[in-house]
Amino acid sequence: MKRFMFVFAIPFIIILFITANLFAQQREMNKSTIGWGAKSQYNKMYNVNTVVFISGEVICIEKIAPIKGMSCCNHLLFKIGKDTVSVHLGPVGFMDSQEIKINLYDSLTIEGSLIIFDLNPAIIAASVKKGNETLLLRDDKGYPLWCISRRN
């Protein structure tokens, strides 16, 4: 009888551990995307009618909270010729999980919605092309990909 209980206890403990670990990971992802929901004030600024394509070089990478109370996003200062523009990529937790990494002085092509943010032009990125690789952040309707699992 003790052996019977032991045989069933081990798989139960393993399943319990895996489940707890998955919940902890989901909680961390939720913390890193506070304020980044598809219908959030910030995401409503994305407008498919103002989509532009820009090419240039990354001259600064930082983490900012676009609106008070939001978790941070990866933010670029992007040089286009003699001009610079602010580019908002996506929540840090989402960006950190991507295979494509953006580095200082990378040459990129960015597709995104041109907005006015803090009285200055800015881009909310939908995709970033680096060499032959493309990092997708939003679908063709502007829906943020970090919200896809919550949409279904």
Per-residue model confidence as pLDDT tens digits over 86-99: 999 999 999 999 99
Of 120, 134, 39, 130, give the one whose Cα is nearest residue 87. Answer: 120
Cα separation, 10 vs 19, whole angstroms: 14
User: What are the strands, taking DSSP E only, across 29-139?
Assistant: 51-64, 73-80, 83-91, 107-117, 120-130, 133-136
Burial of 100 (0-12, 13-18, 19+ CB in 10 A): middle
124 three-class SS: strand
Q: Domain segments of the chain: what residues? A: 1-31, 43-151
Four-way CATH pick for 43-151: 3.40.50.720, 3.40.1000.10, 2.40.50.140, 3.30.200.20: 2.40.50.140
- pLDDT score at 119: 92
Tokens standing for residue 16: 């319990």
pTM of the model: 0.75
